[in-house]
Structure 1
Amino acid sequence: MVATPIRQKYDIKDISLAPKGKQRIEWAAREMPVLKQIQERFAQEKPFAGIRLVACCHVTTETASLAIALKLGGADAVLIASNPLSTQDDVAACLVADYDIPVYAIKGEDNETYHRHVQTALDHKPNIIIDDGSDVVATLIKERQHQIADLIGTTEETTTGIVRLAAMLKDGVLTFPAMNVNDADTKHFFDNRYGTGQSTLDGIIRATNILLAGKVVVVAGYGWCGKGVAMRARGLGSNVIVTEINPVRAIEAAMDGFRVMPMAEAATQGDIFVTVTGNKHVIRAEHFEVMKDGAMVCNSGHFDIEIDLKSLGAKASEVKEVRNFTQKYTLPNGKSIVVLGEGRLINLAAAEGHPSAVMDMSFANQALACEYLVKNKGQLKPGIYNIPTELDQEIAALKLKAMGISIDTLTDEQNEYINSWTVGT
């Protein structure tokens, strides 16, 4: 019998940062009343007793509340970073020191370390995977087929991850259920739009301290994240241009009052570029060539692939860090392009991610999706499942209650009318 290797209990920057992390986690929790109620129920019911769980997430104060909820629910949980620049090191330290949750995440970790942490997480032999971009699930399928038998299912909360899961299902390699947290109404309507909108501009401002009023901001992609960024940029006085590949979304952007054009044209006009597409090389060599001197580019979509930094680096005669999370690439013609956050998620690289009030609903969805998988173990066929409507409605009702907002309910007469075909108009 081969002995199981002893796993390092954590890999973080500095455990002495824990007291600061605890303060910040508690501050964020003040605005997360829905998840707080779920934490309290989980602590009583222990729905994850005996369940090994891996969470690949941005290690932030908000994620900490989710991790704590899962631990209180009985989960044997491990947390890794989903992005090399998104980890808040004090939060990672607190989760290890105060909550005994193994964390493998360091802000600024290189790709080799990131992939090692993915492998470490899979060494945990998870029954449930909470994923962000489907990297852990993809690695499991490609490299650890023998562990799929242990898996009850996975949850995914990003558009990119859902696209990848759909491709896995089409190719016949998704042999277990996956919960589509991203498309829950209480996730994408709020997290993607209001969370990404505010936190992206927060990251840009923290990295640069520039005035957005009067600037031309180019938003690549008009999904829910792009809508949020465009809306908030306009609110700060920017002249917003939207680029799109989807004709319906392009019409929507135009009717929302934004200029719409191809990136090749927008590249000549923009002062600040924000990619929120989930695809690769949305801004590339031919765009850099025609940009204004000093144009700024950043990403709030997926990983560091949306901006083709390899081609920019190959063109540059000099790369210089001019501020934290701000690098100036000088081109042979004397012009410069400024890259924010190394092309990674600017809202997490230079700021603190989404406000906790909006993540309250997103992580409530994650927690309840995990519980749903456990409750329905063995009953769900391989595939991608939306969050049940009743859970979505429950989260919304809890959030309204916490906000002190009441709404109407149908009368018996109205209920009969709206659900019957026999009652005439």
Structure 2
Amino acid sequence: MEHRVKNISLADEGKRRIDWAEAHMPVLVALRKKYEKTKPLAGIRVAGCLHVTKETGVLVRTLKAAGAELTWCGCNPLSTQDDVAASLARHEGIGVFASRGVSTKEYYDDIHSAMKLNPHVTIDDGADLTVEMHKALEQGKIKGPIYGGTEETTTGVVRLRAMQNGGKLLYPVIAVNDAETKHDFDNVYGTGQSALDGIIRATNVLLSGKSVVVAGYGHVGKGIARRAAGLGANVIVTEVDPIAALKAKLDGYSVTTMNEAAAVGDVFVTTTGCKDVIMGDDIAKMKDGAILANAGHFNVEISIPELEKQSSSTSDINQHTKQYSLKNGRRVYLIGEGRLVNLAAAEGHPSEVMDMSFANQFLAVLKLAASKGTMKPRVYDIDKAQDREIAMAKLQSMGVQIDVLTPEQKAYLEGFAEGT
């Protein structure tokens, strides 16, 4: 099958890494064993646009085992693991269009190449594939039938809900990100650990004793703040939402504006999903040696144009870190071009949390395939029963047992509805 990867000779190395991830993703593997004989995805064409990591490789294997015909592309120019992409092309035999460090044009060319499969189902992270599919549908380049899509991350769900509210969503999308077994674990524990992993790999700085500014206190911001505090950092949170800011304050962190935090922070991590979180005026106030990193989906949170405008020269410290020498004589350091730091400078989320996220993805694809296009074009939440099933499966894989309500307890709780 046609593919476009950077170095196919890396395929065996990629296979070993996917095997490693698979050994740490028992819930997804159990689902594969459950469905590989009945093949409920036989005849279903699936186009995926996710970070091409070893964990994604396990999802691809599972979808393939269930009978799906697959094609894949990356959802971020710096997140593809080239050895994994090579392995999926050679060992799994799917059309892979992804490589690390592509230009914006190449990035969208890869998405369009994946779309040539004329998929029944799309799997997305950030909604770029979904948006391009909608353009193709409107132009008559893809005729369908499209049964629906899934969305992995907060930014993508926000985009899709905006499309729905504007009457522009043309097919149903399941918001995998909004499952509790996704955002309460993947976003909090996964990004919390892997974002700091990326910062440390890129700089090897000691976080203990430093002031770490976390912009945004959603699930991702909470995870990063907690992990940074655990490493001995003084955590400062900036927010625009008063409720989120209050939570951060009561969780024990300093809360202030970016205008104030800019002058005292040593490390800055943006997590908001919004643009222009760190601007030129903020950069001008920063200490000599300040480190900038982004954990939001797009590279718009740290204003790169403003950073360049403030600078007299730049130099690469290593493959992940660039020094900007400011006109005021100070230096600031940008990690991973302002892209997702946990994937640009590290390996992304640990396999154990992606196990639950991708179990949700797999079950969502099964639901869409079974619907055969009968679901209305809107954004759907994951069923609560599915959330609980995945959580229980994860607990069982960890050897954890929990209590079960007795019939009397169930009757007591259900009786509240009757006022008893």
Q: TM-score, normalised by structure 2?
A: 0.97
Q: Is the 8 A contact 1:54 1:130 kept in 2?
A: yes
Which residue number corresponds to residue 243 of structure 1?
A: 238
What is the alpha-carbon distance in structure 1 between the residues aligned to residue 318 and residue 209 of structure 2?
Answer: 22
Q: Is the 8 A contact 1:59 1:105 kept in 2?
A: yes
Q: Is the 8 A contact 1:141 1:148 kept in 2?
A: no
What is the alpha-carbon distance in structure 1 between the residues aligned to residue 122 and residue 143 of structure 2?
Answer: 11
Structure 2 residue runs without a partner (length 5+): none
Deviation at 1:355, TM superposition (A): 0.5
More displaced, 139-148 or 18-27?
139-148
What is the alpha-carbon distance in structure 2 between the residues aligned to residue 403 and residue 101 of structure 1?
Answer: 32
Distance 1:97 1:293, change over 3 A: same
Deviation at 1:382, TM superposition (A): 1.4
* 1:379 correspondence with 2:374: yes
Residue type at the aligned position of 2:90: A
Which residue number corresponds to residue 5 of structure 1?
A: none
Q: Is the 8 A contact 1:77 1:101 kept in 2?
A: yes
Distance 1:176 1:84, change over 3 A: same
Which residue number corresponds to residue 398 of structure 2?
A: 403
Q: Is the 8 A contact 1:279 1:302 kept in 2?
A: no
Residue type at the aligned position of 1:211: L
Deviation at 1:148, TM superposition (A): 5.6
Which residue number corresponds to residue 417 of structure 1?
A: 412
Considering only aligned residues, what root-mean-square deviation do their CA atoms show, in Å? 1.3
CA deviation string 1:120-165 (max 9, x = no partner): 1222211101011111111122343232642110100111101100
Q: Is the 8 A contact 1:140 1:148 kept in 2?
A: no
Q: Is the 8 A contact 2:321 2:336 kept in 1?
A: yes
What is the alpha-carbon distance in structure 2 between the residues aligned to residue 286 and residue 194 of structure 1?
Answer: 32
SS of 2:178 mapped into structure 1: coil
* 1:219 correspondence with 2:207: no
Distance 1:383 1:205, change over 3 A: same
Residue type at the aligned position of 1:325: H
Which residues of 2 match residues 68-147 of structure 1 at below 5 A?
A: 68-145=61-138, 146=140, 147=142
Q: Is the 8 A contact 2:118 2:144 kept in 1?
A: no
CA deviation string 1:204-241 (max 9, x = no partner): 00000110000000000100000000000000000000
Which residue number corresponds to residue 277 of structure 1?
A: 272
SS of 1:257 mapped into structure 2: coil
Residue type at the aligned position of 1:51: I
Deviation at 1:424, TM superposition (A): 7.0
More displaced, 242-251 or 134-143?
134-143
SS of 1:217 mapped into structure 2: strand
What is the alpha-carbon distance in structure 2 between the residues aligned to residue 231 and residue 66 of structure 1?
Answer: 29
| Count of aligned pairs | 418
What is the alpha-carbon distance in structure 2 between the residues aligned to residue 110 and residue 166 of structure 1?
Answer: 28
Deviation at 1:356, TM superposition (A): 0.2
Which residues of 2 match residues 291-302 of structure 1 at below 5 A?
A: 291-302=286-297
SS of 1:150 mapped into structure 2: coil
What is the alpha-carbon distance in structure 1 between the residues aligned to residue 73 and residue 374 of structure 2?
Answer: 29
SS of 2:212 mapped into structure 1: strand
What is the alpha-carbon distance in structure 1 between the residues aligned to residue 179 and residue 29 of structure 2?
Answer: 20
Q: Is the 8 A contact 2:145 2:373 kept in 1?
A: no
CA deviation string 1:90-140 (max 9, x = no partner): 111111111101111111111111011111122221110101111111112
What is the alpha-carbon distance in structure 1 between the residues aligned to residue 12 and residue 247 of structure 2?
Answer: 47
Q: Is the 8 A contact 1:218 1:274 kept in 2?
A: yes
Deviation at 1:175, TM superposition (A): 2.2
Q: Is the 8 A contact 1:417 1:423 kept in 2?
A: no
Residue type at the aligned position of 1:285: G
Which residues of 2 match residues 133-172 of structure 1 at below 5 A?
A: 133-145=126-138, 146=140, 147=142, 149-172=144-167
Q: TM-score, normalised by structure 1?
A: 0.96
What is the alpha-carbon distance in structure 1 between the residues aligned to residue 58 and residue 40 of structure 2?
Answer: 17
What is the alpha-carbon distance in structure 2 between the residues aligned to residue 306 and residue 281 of structure 1?
Answer: 5
What is the alpha-carbon distance in structure 1 between the residues aligned to residue 181 and residue 236 of structure 2?
Answer: 28
More displaced, 37-46 or 76-85?
37-46
Structure 1 residue runs without a partner (length 5+): 1-7
Distance 1:46 1:305, change over 3 A: same
What is the alpha-carbon distance in structure 1 between the residues aligned to residue 79 and residue 265 of structure 2?
Answer: 27
What is the alpha-carbon distance in structure 2 between the residues aligned to residue 143 and residue 152 of structure 1?
Answer: 15
Which residue number corresponds to residue 3 of structure 1?
A: none
Which residue number corresponds to residue 339 of structure 2?
A: 344
Q: Which residue, 29, 46, 51 being the options, matches 1:58?
A: 51
- Once the two structures are aligned, what percentage of the paired residues are identical? 51
* 1:173 correspondence with 2:168: yes
* 1:314 correspondence with 2:316: no
What is the alpha-carbon distance in structure 2 between the residues aligned to residue 149 and residue 18 of structure 1?
Answer: 33
What is the alpha-carbon distance in structure 2 between the residues aligned to residue 48 and residue 148 of structure 1?
Answer: 20
Residue type at the aligned position of 2:249: A
Residue type at the aligned position of 1:223: G
Q: Is the 8 A contact 2:284 2:328 kept in 1?
A: no
Deviation at 1:376, TM superposition (A): 2.0
Q: Is the 8 A contact 2:146 2:373 kept in 1?
A: no
Q: Is the 8 A contact 2:237 2:254 kept in 1?
A: yes
Residue type at the aligned position of 1:347: N
Residue type at the aligned position of 1:276: T
More displaced, 229-238 or 168-177?
168-177
* 1:36 correspondence with 2:51: no
Q: Is the 8 A contact 2:273 2:296 kept in 1?
A: yes
More displaced, 380-389 or 245-254?
380-389
Residue type at the aligned position of 1:55: G
Residue type at the aligned position of 1:405: V
Q: Which residue, 340, 349, 353 being the options, matches 1:354?
A: 349
Which residue number corresponds to residue 4 of structure 1?
A: none
